[in-house]
């Protein structure tokens, strides 16, 4: 174990210490360097380090927000499930982008589930945005004398066989040929192309009643979620439904057909701005949701409740650390002080690791971290108890440090390996709070082994080198010589 | 290892007290923890058996994570009357129950409701009872199928962890006299001690939740987290003692004809590590006390589970694990 006291190891410890301070205090360091106030909002936060933003990533239970687990159901038979899952995630991402949530998390879970985490959004709003079902519906217009109201009296939409699965893509682009206006290019697969070809030809050739030059029959309309029921009650619902989707209606675009479109590629023109064209493209794409979504698990935490939890856990963590330090110094004296320094190093390094990976801290994660402090203390206790034994048996204080570390090592190694095995498996198999707990405890145990076997060890060696072994009070152990027996 | 070449090993055969110049202490002159093992086994069974009986006959008070359902934590910004809250919840037809918490909070538990349905209840309470502080809401909804999966995956993880720990310990202790067989005895005893702690903890919670009908005895994912921590801690504690037994067996063997019996070695090892076990557990208990003080109501069950588990883990590592090893050795001797 003597090689652990060599200068490269000590250099490593000093390097890690500097790194920890730089990462942990990155925000304050940047504020000082830029002559900004130490508290309150300032520009340039969070600070950058090696190209990554470093800050504590807080879980939803600590910052407030919603966590939804969605189950994809009613998938048409024969479709590749992983493709459906990927498509659905794309669609959800596009819809969520509209909310402007910082760092939304959208992850696949298993084969047919998706987890969505949104900070600062209520569960009801999140569900409404993601939508349970959102299907692109394409209609043509047919004459119906019963329709008295709505935008086009005497006409109602009729749902066509063109479905969202047949739309392969929609994107906004600047059309150089038509005077640099924004257009949306829509592409259908071969099946969709055939249907669209027929629909557009019919619409183009439609004759308007009473010799009018224009009528709804010339248009093909895209909707989100328009149902057969809506169409059946068109007379009553038209005013609500025939409104843009983002204004509470179901309408995406009502486009007049200028020519029969046979190749499966159509272009929608109009008075689009860059934004409105992109939005429409997103909505057309987002209509292509292959199945239905069902919320099977949801967690919502109010914003101030989360902030309250942070305060509580921080207080618990700081108090816990303080109690342990006081106890260690009281019980082990000088070695206890050494262990406390090592413990602070441990806490600082673990926090820096959490910031750099980054680990998202949840309430259960904080509990795991606080418990790993207990495990870090244990390694020190093991070493010190051995140290006392060695000194009592007559070994010199200097040699006792080495022997104590050497003999405590197998116990530290084996006991921590067992914890690493358990937490590692829990991280792989667990979900939600269990995962957050496992990752912090796992990392905490790793750092604590390093902290005890290298930092405590080196500090003890340094103390002993400059220490008069006769002052046994400081070492917290009665030397055999001083018992007056020899 | 370092101990083979360590000077002074000959002067200091075994125990920490040898500097006093006494001969190697015999168990009869010291605290005999191994010899009185049946007393300690009985003490453990005294708690575990009623617990297991309660688990088998009454089961557990399940939280919504494990049962499926919705749980709403609400805080009214004006004082609210519990009867009014109950009346509104009853009118929703959601199998709801209402519990009053501290500081004007209410906990409403219902069958699994999706967020839109949850919002309706909150809106109704807001308009019919008193304004609800929307920033203080916490709502959890778990579908019954998800609940089953959480339990299954956690149990599988623990089972896999137990097997891996058994293999790891067998590997680490295979150099002890008796080879792999002895290694598996060490690993198996550690797992038995682990079972002791898990059954003691779940048993007590079954009694708390179902016999005494206390909410604190609720089994939810936080309890699961606590139980898993106890699993880690229990093995951790036991291994420290076993490690000392391993070391003392080597030292004892060097004494040749005057070597100690296995039982004596075990007893000595327990005495040598007891201080460390107690100090470490005490430190963790201190940290838990801090958590209890600041953690708030939602963490109380969690902290209680950890406290029981840590105490049980310390007890089993001192009074059960090594004694089980001794019994196992008697049943299946190694040469």
Q: Which of B153, B235, B239 sits opposite A431 (nearest CB)?
A: B153
- pLDDT at residue B210 tops 70: yes
Crossing angle (nearest 10°) for helices B115-128 and A123-130: 140
How high is the pLDDT of residue B269? 94
A73 touching chain B per CB within 8 A: no
| A160 contacts: CB under 8 Å, gap ≥ 6 | A138, A139, A140, A195, A199
**Band (B1; pLDDT cuts 50, 70, 90):** very low
- pLDDT at residue B15 tops 60: no
Of the ranges A301-305, A358-362, B274-278, the best mean pLDDT one: B274-278
Distance separating alpha carbons of residues A230 and B174, to the nearest angstrom: 74
B293 touching chain A per CB within 8 A: yes
- pLDDT at residue B9 tops 60: no
Element (H, E) at A61: helix A60-63
How high is the pLDDT of residue B244? 93
A194-208, B103-117, B263-277, B290-304: range with lowest mean pLDDT: B290-304
Q: Which of A328, A378, A433 sits opposite B221 (nearest CB)?
A: A433
Q: What is the tens place of the pLDDT at every residue in B215-227?
A: 888 888 778 878 8
Taking alpha carbons only, the member of A448, A412, A423, A169 closest to residue A281 is A169
For residues A446-458, average pLDDT: 91
- pLDDT at residue A228 tops 50: yes
**Residue ranges of A 202-261 with Cβ closer than 8 A to chain B:** none
Burial class of residue A51, CB neighbours in 10 A (0-12, 13-18, 19+) = exposed
Q: Are strands A155-163 and A136-143 parallel, antiparallel or unpaired?
A: antiparallel
- pLDDT at residue A138 tops 50: yes
How high is the pLDDT of residue B26? 47
Q: Edge to edge, what strands does the sheet with B105-110 contain?
A: A105-109, A113-119, A65-73, A292-301, B138-142, B69-75, B105-110, B97-100
The number of angstroms, rounded, from the C-alpha of A168 to the middle of its chain's C-alpha atoms is 29
- What residue of B is the nearest CA neighbor of A318? B290
- CB A419: neighbour CB atoms within 10 A? 28
A271-285, A372-386, B94-108: range with lowest mean pLDDT: A271-285
| A187 contacts: CB under 8 Å, gap ≥ 6 | A167, A168, A169, A170, A264, A265
Peptide bond into A337 cis (omega under 30): no
Contact B114 A426 (CB under 8 A): no
- What residue of B is the nearest CA neighbor of A324? B283
More confident site: A477 or B86: B86
- What residue of B is the nearest CA neighbor of A60? B138
How high is the pLDDT of residue B215? 82
- pLDDT at residue B69 tops 90: no
| B66 contacts: CB under 8 Å, gap ≥ 6 | B60, B147, B150, B151, B219, B220, B221
Mutant choice from B15, B73, B137 vs A, greatest count of A C-beta within 10 A: B137
**Residue ranges of A 410-439 with Cβ closer than 8 A to chain B:** 410-411, 414-419, 421-423, 425-426, 428-434, 437-438
- Provide the token pair at B261: 């019996």
How high is the pLDDT of residue A82? 83
Taking alpha carbons only, the member of A86, A61, A112 closest to residue B137 is A61
Asked if B192 and B36 count as a contact pair (C-beta separation under 8 A), the reply is: no
- CB B120: neighbour CB atoms within 10 A? 14
Taking alpha carbons only, the member of A335, A76, B267 closest to residue A327 is A335
Burial class of residue B256, CB neighbours in 10 A (0-12, 13-18, 19+) = exposed
For residues B105-113, average pLDDT: 85
Where are the alpha helices (H) located in chain B, listed in sequence order? 37-57, 64-67, 82-91, 115-128, 144-172, 179-206, 221-253, 262-295, 300-319, 321-331
Contact B235 A419 (CB under 8 A): yes
- pLDDT at residue B191 tops 90: yes
Cα-flanking dihedrals φ and ψ of residue A306, to 5°?
-60, -45
How high is the pLDDT of residue A480? 53
Kindly state the percentage of chain A with pLDDT values over 90: 8
**Band (A469; pLDDT cuts 50, 70, 90):** low
- What residue of A is the nearest CA neighbor of B71? A299
| Sign of the torsion formed by the C-alpha atoms of B78, B84, B90 and B96 | positive
How high is the pLDDT of residue B248? 92
With contacts defined as CB-CB under 8 Å, which chain A residues touch B10?
A: none
- What residue of A is the nearest CA neighbor of B22? A393
For residues B75-85, average pLDDT: 84
Q: What is the tens place of the pLDDT at every residue in A18-64?
A: 999 888 888 888 888 888 777 777 777 677 766 667 777 788 778 88
- CB A356: neighbour CB atoms within 10 A? 15
- pLDDT at residue A195 tops 50: yes
**Nearest chain B Cα distance for residue A360, angstroms:** 17
Mean pLDDT of chain A: 81
For residues A414-432, average pLDDT: 84
The answer to whether domain A65-132+297-301 has CATH 3.30.70.3400 is yes
User: What does the domain layout of chain A look like in residue ranges?
Assistant: 7-56+302-475, 65-132+297-301, 136-288
Kindly state the percentage of chain A with pLDDT values over 70: 90
Looking at domain A7-56+302-475, its CATH class is mainly alpha
Q: Edge to edge, what strands does the sheet with A219-224 contain?
A: A155-163, A136-143, A219-224, A251-256
- CB A14: neighbour CB atoms within 10 A? 10
How high is the pLDDT of residue B18? 41
- CB A211: neighbour CB atoms within 10 A? 6
Q: What is the tens place of the pLDDT at every residue in A364-404?
A: 888 788 778 877 888 888 898 888 888 888 888 888 888 99
- pLDDT at residue A478 tops 70: no
| B135 contacts: CB under 8 Å, gap ≥ 6 | A64, A302, A303, A304, A305
How high is the pLDDT of residue B246? 92
Q: What is the tens place of the pLDDT at every residue in A71-93?
A: 888 776 777 788 788 878 877 88
- pLDDT at residue B321 tops 90: yes
| Sign of the torsion formed by the C-alpha atoms of A89, A90, A95 and A100 | positive
Q: What is the tens place of the pLDDT at every residue in B143-176?
A: 777 777 777 887 888 888 889 989 999 998 988 8
A318-332, B56-70, B136-150: range with lowest mean pLDDT: B136-150
Q: Which ipTM value was assigned to this complex?
A: 0.80
Where are the alpha helices (H) located in A71-154, listed in sequence order? 81-97, 123-130
Contact A295 B114 (CB under 8 A): yes
Fold for the domain defined by A136-288:
Gyrase A; domain 2 (3.30.1360)
Mutant choice from A60, A72, A113, A124 vs B, greatest count of B C-beta within 10 A: A124
């Amino acid at each position: 174990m003597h090689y652990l006291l060599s200068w490269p190891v000590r250099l490593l410890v000093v390097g890690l210490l500097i790194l920890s301070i730089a990462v942990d205090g990155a925000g304050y360091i940047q504020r000082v360097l830029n002559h900004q106030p130490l508290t309150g909002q300032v520009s340039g936060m969070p600070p950058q380090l090696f190209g990554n933003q470093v800050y504590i990533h807080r879980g939803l239970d600590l910052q407030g927000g919603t966590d939804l687990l969605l189950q994809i159901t009613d998938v048409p038979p024969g479709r590749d499930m992983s493709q459906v899952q990927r498509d659905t995630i794309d669609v959800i991402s596009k819809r969520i982008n509209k909310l402007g949530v910082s760092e939304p998390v959208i992850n696949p879970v298993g084969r047919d589930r998706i987890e969505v985490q949104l900070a600062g959004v209520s569960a009801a709003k999140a569900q409404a945005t993601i939508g349970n079902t959102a299907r692109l519906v394409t209609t043509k217009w047919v004459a119906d004398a019963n329709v008295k109201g709505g935008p086009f009296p005497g006409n109602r939409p009729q749902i066509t066989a063109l479905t969202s699965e047949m739309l392969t893509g929609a994107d906004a682009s600047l059309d150089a040929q038509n005077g640099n206006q924004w257009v949306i290019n829509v592409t259908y697969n071969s099946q969709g192309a055939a249907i669209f070809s027929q629909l557009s030809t019919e619409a183009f050739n439609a004759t308007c009643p009473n010799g009018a030059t224009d009528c709804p029959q010339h248009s093909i309309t895209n909707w989100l979620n328009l149902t057969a029921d809506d169409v059946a009650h068109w007379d009553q619902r038209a005013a609500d439904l025939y409104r843009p989707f983002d204004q509470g209606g179901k309408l995406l675009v009502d486009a007049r057909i200028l020519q029969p479109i046979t190749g499966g590629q159509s272009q929608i023109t109009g008075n689009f701005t860059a934004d409105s064209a992109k939005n429409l493209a997103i909505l057309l794409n987002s209509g292509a949701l292959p199945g239905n979504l069902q919320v099977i698990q949801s967690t919502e935490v109010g914003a101030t409740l989360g902030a309250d939890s942070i305060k509580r856990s921080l207080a618990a963590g700081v108090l816990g650390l303080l109690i342990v330090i006081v106890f260690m110094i009281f019980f082990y004296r000088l070695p206890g002080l050494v262990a406390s320094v090592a413990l602070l190093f441990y806490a600082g390094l673990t926090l820096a690791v959490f910031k750099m990976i980054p680990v998202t801290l949840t309430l259960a994660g904080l509990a795991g971290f606080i418990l790993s402090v207990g495990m870090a203390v244990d390694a020190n206790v093991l070493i010190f108890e051995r140290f006392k034994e060695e000194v009592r048996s007559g070994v010199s204080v200097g040699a006792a440090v080495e022997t104590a570390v050497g003999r405590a090592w197998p116990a530290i190694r084996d006991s921590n390996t067992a914890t690493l095995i358990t937490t590692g498996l829990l991280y792989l198999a667990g979900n939600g709070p269990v995962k957050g707990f496992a990752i912090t405890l796992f990392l905490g145990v790793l750092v604590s082994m390093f902290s005890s076997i290298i930092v405590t060890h080196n500090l003890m060696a340094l103390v002993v080198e400059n220490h008069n072994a006769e002052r046994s009070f400081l070492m917290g152990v009665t030397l055999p010589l001083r018992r007056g027996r020899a | 290892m370092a101990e083979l070449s360590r000077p002074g090993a000959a002067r200091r055969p075994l125990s920490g007290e040898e500097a006093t110049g006494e001969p190697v202490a015999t168990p009869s002159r010291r605290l005999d923890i191994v010899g009185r093992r049946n007393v300690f086994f009985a003490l453990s069974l005294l708690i575990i058996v009623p617990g297991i009986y309660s688990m088998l006959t009454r089961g557990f008070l399940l939280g919504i994570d494990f049962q499926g359902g919705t749980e709403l934590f609400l805080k009214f910004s004006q004082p609210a009357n519990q009867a009014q809250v109950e009346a509104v919840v009853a009118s929703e037809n959601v199998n709801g129950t209402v519990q009053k918490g501290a500081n004007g909070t209410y906990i409403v538990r219902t069958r699994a409701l999706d967020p839109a349905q949850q919002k309706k209840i909150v809106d109704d309470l807001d308009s019919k009872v008193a304004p609800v502080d929307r920033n203080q809401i916490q709502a959890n909804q778990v579908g019954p199928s998800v609940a089953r999966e959480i339990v299954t995956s956690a149990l599988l993880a623990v089972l896999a962890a137990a097997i891996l720990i058994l293999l790891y310990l067998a590997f680490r202790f295979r150099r002890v006299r008796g080879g792999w067989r002895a290694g598996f005895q060490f690993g198996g005893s550690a797992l038995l001690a682990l079972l002791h702690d898990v059954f003691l903890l779940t048993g007590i919670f079954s009694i708390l939740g179902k016999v005494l009908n206390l909410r604190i005895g609720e089994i939810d994912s936080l309890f699961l987290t606590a139980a898993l921590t106890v699993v880690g801690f229990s093995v951790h504690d036991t291994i420290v003692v076993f490690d000392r037994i391993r070391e003392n067996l080597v030292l004892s063997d060097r004494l040749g004809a005057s070597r100690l019996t296995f039982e004596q070695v075990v007893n000595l090892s327990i005495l040598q590590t007891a201080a460390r076990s107690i100090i470490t557990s005490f430190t963790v208990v201190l940290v838990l006390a801090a958590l209890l003080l600041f953690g708030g109501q939602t963490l109380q069950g969690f902290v209680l589970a950890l406290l029981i588990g840590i105490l049980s883990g310390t007890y089993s590592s001192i009074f059960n694990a090594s004694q089980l090893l001794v019994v196992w050795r008697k049943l299946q001797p190694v040469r």
